Structures are given as structure tokens and as C-alpha cells.
């Protein structure tokens, strides 16, 4: 029995939820999101909470059930609070700035990297070496952060590159003479 799946998703004030069949549409102060729940999982609104349960007693239904509950919970949290990831840029001459709708990264290559900011995502450059990515869709925020990190992942010898705030880089010792 799933421990995550059996708990209902609480709906905070100011958030409206519409369940039609397998589609869950959530609207809040930050925006609107929708998600289609897997066919093996039943979704219903009860007492101001969203309750999910497996439709059939199969292995797949039991394994997908807590995942669907977490995805619906992420929708509710996204439209009420939003998601935010902070990135740090480490390295001599490494910096970032916004030019219009593009994020321009100088990461030690012979050219600047222009990253077009996707729709629904807001990127703030707090310092030339600090970025904040925010939005209502958790998956999209994480994907944008991963794409930016992929341009120059942190390396273990000097620690240069782009990393998430608070992430520890295991450092290696260099060559000995």
C-alpha cells in the first residue's frame, strides 16, 4: 500500500479545482495548469480535497498511483506558491545577463551562449554570477535549470561551472609532480 498515494491533496484558499473525467484543471493566483491522470488511477473531489485511488488492483496501477498524486499536488502548489530554483556561476570571467527575452551566458567559450527564455518561465539575474528561475510548472522550471547547467556543468578539479545553490561539488586532487 502506498504511503504517499493514500493522502488526499489539500486545496488551499484561492485555488479552484475542476475535475472532468481524468483531466484535472487547477486555477490559482499565479496561473492555470491542467493534467491528464493515468487511466489506472481514479481521481475525485471530496470535501475540498482531491483524492486519488487505484482503479484496478494491478502492479502498474499501484506503482503509478502515488506518482499521479504527486503530479496533482505539484499543480496545486505551482498555481498557489510557484517554484523557484537558484543557480550559481563559478569561474573567472563567467557571467550571465538578460538581453530582451534571451539569457546571455559567458562561460569561457570563444562565443557567448544565447538561451531563449521559454514561455511561462521567468529568469532573474540577481548578480552576474547568480540566477533565479521561477514559474508555476515544476517540471518546466527544473528542465530550464538543467538545460542551463548543461552548458557548463561543474567540474571536480577547480569547481568551475554552473551549479544549483547549495549543491556540493566533490573536489578531486590534481596531478602530482
The answer to whether residues 72 and 9 touch, using CB atoms and an 8 Å cutoff, is yes
Rg (CA), the chain: 21
- As a whole-number percent, the residues of the chain with pLDDT over 90 amount to 73
Q: How far is CA 79 from CA 13, 19, 86, 120, in A?
A: 11, 16, 19, 12
177 occurs within a structural domain: no
User: Is 121 within a domain?
Assistant: yes
Is there a single domain that holds both residue 49 and residue 96? no
Average pLDDT over residues 134-159: 94
Residue 49 lies inside a defined structural domain of this protein: yes
78, 11 Cβ separation under 8 angstroms: no
Name the residue among 82, 167, 74 with its Cα closest to residue 124: 82
pLDDT at residue 162, as a whole number = 94
29-43: average pLDDT: 91
* Under 8 Å between Cβ of 70 and 4: yes
Work out whether the CA dihedral 107, 89, 147, 125 comes out positive or negative.
Answer: negative
Are 50 and 123 within one domain? Answer: no
Range of the domain at 99: 83-164
Whether 4 is covered by a domain: the verdict is no
Determine, yes or no, domain membership for 175. Answer: no
Per-residue model confidence as pLDDT tens digits over 118-132: 999 999 999 999 999
Same domain, residue pair 71 and 87: no
pTM: 0.87
The CA dihedral of 156, 157, 159, 163, to the nearest 10 degrees, is -20
Same domain, residue pair 29 and 99: no
pLDDT tens per residue, range 12-33:
988 999 999 889 999 999 999 9
* Tally of structural domains, the chain: 2
Say yes or no: 34 and 94 in one domain.
Answer: no
CATH (domain of 147): 3.90.930.12
> Is the predicted pLDDT of residue 137 greater than 80, yes or no?
yes
Cell of 114: 544565447
Domain stop point among 35, 50, 80: 80
Q: Are 76 and 87 within one domain? A: no
Measure the CA–CA gap between 157 and 89, rounded to whole angstroms: 15
Q: What is the pLDDT of residue 32?
A: 92
Amino acid at each position: 500500500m502506498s504511503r504517499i498515494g493514500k493522502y488526499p491533496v489539500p486545496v488551499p484558499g484561492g485555488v479552484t479545482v475542476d475535475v472532468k473525467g481524468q483531466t484535472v484543471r487547477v486555477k490559482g493566483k499565479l496561473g492555470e495548469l491542467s493534467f491528464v491522470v493515468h487511466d489506472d488511477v481514479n481521481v475525485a473531489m471530496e470535501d475540498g480535497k482531491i483524492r486519488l485511488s487505484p482503479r484496478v488492483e494491478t502492479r502498474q496501477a499501484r506503482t503509478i498511483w502515488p506518482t499521479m498524486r504527486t503530479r496533482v499536488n505539484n499543480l496545486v502548489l505551482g498555481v498557489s506558491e510557484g517554484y523557484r530554483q537558484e543557480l550559481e556561476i563559478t569561474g573567472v570571467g563567467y557571467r550571465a545577463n538578460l538581453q530582451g527575452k534571451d539569457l546571455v551566458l559567458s562561460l569561457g567559450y570563444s562565443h557567448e551562449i544565447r538561451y531563449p527564455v521559454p514561455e511561462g518561465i521567468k529568469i532573474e539575474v540577481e548578480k552576474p554570477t547568480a540566477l533565479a528561475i521561477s514559474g508555476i510548472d515544476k517540471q518546466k522550471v527544473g528542465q530550464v535549470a538543467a538545460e542551463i547547467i548543461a552548458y557548463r556543468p561543474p567540474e571536480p578539479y577547480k569547481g568551475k561551472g554552473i551549479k544549483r545553490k547549495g549543491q556540493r561539488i566533490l573536489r578531486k586532487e590534481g596531478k602530482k609532480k
